[in-house]
Every structure is written in structure tokens, then in C-alpha cells.
């Protein structure tokens, strides 16, 4: 039976490629995001290639939405083996220009959203004494970038939170991996920035290929923290 991977933020960027890479490696894909249309085309593409995939609309800011989606996944697949916390937003603004609602939205999506996701799937993993939570963070978690303080705070918070969780769940054979990519060519960047720097950026596919290697380690091995950077360094 195929292992089941739940990927948040799968409608675009890294999440979109993660779904295709994991499907190719034989996983059953659960692709979720707030927008249905791109999820449908993603799942159709995966199924056309002969793999199993399902799409659900899920808002990581809503515990009700997450719990409802979990129930649908368990009805379809019976379990959840891997969670990939990938859903993420940002605002490239200075600290003083970041308005409280924008700050709240970034923290609520990136930090609180990943907390809610992990808290929802952990009982399944703890019961069967295995599982893997993979978090797509950012080098911003421990590197200084101007005009990204709220985003950096959310990612640094995730790093601290999941390092703490890792220590708590080792006894259940649950793996926690934090992946910190540098500049990656995704819609998170403005069209102008992507046009100017895309040749220096990593592709979502490259980050996804490394992620699948982390997921496919032997049962007794966990790759805990990985920093991935473009060869020419940060932008």
C-alpha cells in the first residue's frame, strides 16, 4: 500500500512540484490549498501519469477546515504517513510599513497554520508509532533579510517550535525535518524580481527533489535540518 503524503499550499510553487515528485516516487498525494482550480489540474496531471492523488480545499488558518479535511483523507486513504507544511505567505515590507493585519496574516498562516496542521495529524502518527512531518521553512529563519521581518519571525518561530516538538515525539518514532531553502523561483516573489534574478534562483523542482530524499531515508534515520542555497548565494 502506498504511503500517504499531505502537502499544504500545493496549488503553486514548491508545493505544486512536491506533489508531482512524491507521486512519481509512489506516494498517494493529498494536495490541499485555498484555491481549487489549480489543485484540480495538478491532480489530473498526476492521475494521467498513473498515480493516485486527491485534491481538497483547506485553509491552514482554520482548525475546523483542517479537521474536516483530515476526516475526508482518512475516509479515502485510511491514514496519513507524511505531512509537508508548505503553505506560506509573505509581504516584502519594512518593519514599520508592515501593518498589524498583514503581520497577523503572516504569523497566522505560516506559524499558527503549521502548528494546527501538525497538531491535527500527530494523534494518527503517535497511535501507529511512526510518521514524518517535513516543514518547508526558509533561510530567513536564521539569516538577516531587510523587508522580511514578519516572514522571518514566522519561519524562526516554526524552527523553534518544531525543534521542540521533535524532542517530544522521538519516542513515537516520528521524524521532524526542517528544510530551509534560499531564493527559489516561485510566485512569492514579484514578477520583476523573478525576471531579474530567476537565473540565480533555485527551481521548485530542485527543492522538491531534495525533499523526497529526506522522506525516503531508512526507518531509523532522520535528516533534521537542511539548508539549501543557490550556488551563487542569497539574493
Is residue 7 very low, low, confident or very high in pLDDT (cuts 50, 70, 90)? very high
All three cell numbers of 122, joined, read 500527530
Is the pTM here over 0.75, yes or no? yes
The pLDDT value given to residue 100 = 97
Q: What are the residues facing 184 on neighbouring strands?
A: 202
Written as one string, the DSSP assignment of 132-156 is EEEEE--GGGTS--TT-HHHHHHHH
* Residue 115 known to be catalytic: no
All three cell numbers of 11, joined, read 496549488
Which whole number is the average pLDDT over 60-82?
A: 98
Is residue 95 very low, low, confident or very high in pLDDT (cuts 50, 70, 90)? very high
CA-to-CA distance for 194 and 163, rounded, in angstroms?
A: 32
For residues 223 and 177, the answer to whether their CB atoms sit within 8 Å is yes
The pLDDT value given to residue 51 = 97
Does pLDDT of 3 surpass 90?
A: yes
Give the pLDDT confidence of 107-150 residue by residue, as tens digits: 999 999 999 999 999 999 999 999 999 999 999 888 888 888 99
Q: What are the distances in angstroms from CA 165 to CA 32, 44, 78, 169, 221? A: 23, 35, 24, 6, 17
| Residue 152 neighbours by CB under 8 Å, 6+ apart | 138, 140, 141, 144, 145
Among positive and negative, which fits the CA dihedral 39, 57, 18, 22?
Answer: negative
Please work out, in degrees rounded to the nearest 5, the angle formed at the alpha carbon of residue 72 by the alpha carbons of 69 and 73: 90
Q: Which of 27, 115, 151, 197 is catalytic?
A: 151
CA-to-CA distance for 188 and 135, rounded, in angstroms?
A: 17
Give the pLDDT confidence of 153-174 residue by residue, as tens digits: 999 999 999 999 999 999 999 9
Give the pLDDT confidence of 176-223 residue by residue, as tens digits: 999 999 888 787 777 888 888 788 888 999 999 999 999 999 999 999
The pLDDT value given to residue 193 = 81
Instruction: Tell me which CATH code domain 4-228 carries.
Output: 3.40.50.720
Q: What are the distances in angstroms from CA 179 to CA 85, 102, 186, 228, 231? A: 10, 24, 16, 8, 17
- Range list of H helices, 52-142: 63-77, 100-106, 113-128
Amino acid at each position: 500500500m502506498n504511503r500517504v503524503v499531505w502537502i499544504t499550499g500545493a496549488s503553486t510553487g514548491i508545493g505544486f512540484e512536491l506533489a508531482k515528485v512524491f507521486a512519481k516516487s509512489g506516494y498517494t498525494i493529498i494536495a490541499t490549498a485555498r484555491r481549487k482550480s489549480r489543485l484540480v489540474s495538478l491532480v489530473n496531471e498526476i492521475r494521467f501519469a498513473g498515480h493516485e492523488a486527491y485534491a481538497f480545499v483547506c485553509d491552514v488558518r482554520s482548525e475546523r477546515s483542517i479537521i474536516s479535511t483530515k476526516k475526508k483523507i482518512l475516509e479515502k486513504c485510511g491514514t496519513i504517513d507524511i505531512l509537508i507544511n508548505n503553505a506560506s505567505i509573505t509581504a516584502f515590507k519594512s518593519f514599520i510599513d508592515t501593518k498589524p493585519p498583514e503581520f497577523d496574516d503572516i504569523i497566522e498562516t505560516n506559524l499558527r497554520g503549521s502548528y494546527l496542521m501538525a497538531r491535527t495529524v500527530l494523534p494518527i502518527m503517535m497511535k501507529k508509532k511512526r510518521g514524518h512531518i517535513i516543514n518547508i521553512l526558509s533561510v530567513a529563519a536564521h539569516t538577516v533579510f531587510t523587508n522580511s521581518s514578519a516572514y522571518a519571525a514566522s519561519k524562526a518561530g516554526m524552527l523553534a517550535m518544531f525543534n521542540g516538538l521533535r524532542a517530544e515525539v522521538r519516542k513515537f518514532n516520528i521524524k521532524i525535518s526542517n528544510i530551509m531553502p534560499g531564493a527559489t523561483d516561485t510566485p512569492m516573489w514579484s514578477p520583476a524580481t523573478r525576471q531579474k534574478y530567476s537565473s540565480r534562483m533555485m527551481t521548485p523542482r530542485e527543492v522538491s527533489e531534495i525533499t523526497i530524499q529526506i522522506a525516503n531515508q531508512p526507518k531509523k534515520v532522520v535528516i533534521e535540518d537542511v539548508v539549501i542555497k543557490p550556488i551563487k548565494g542569497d539574493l
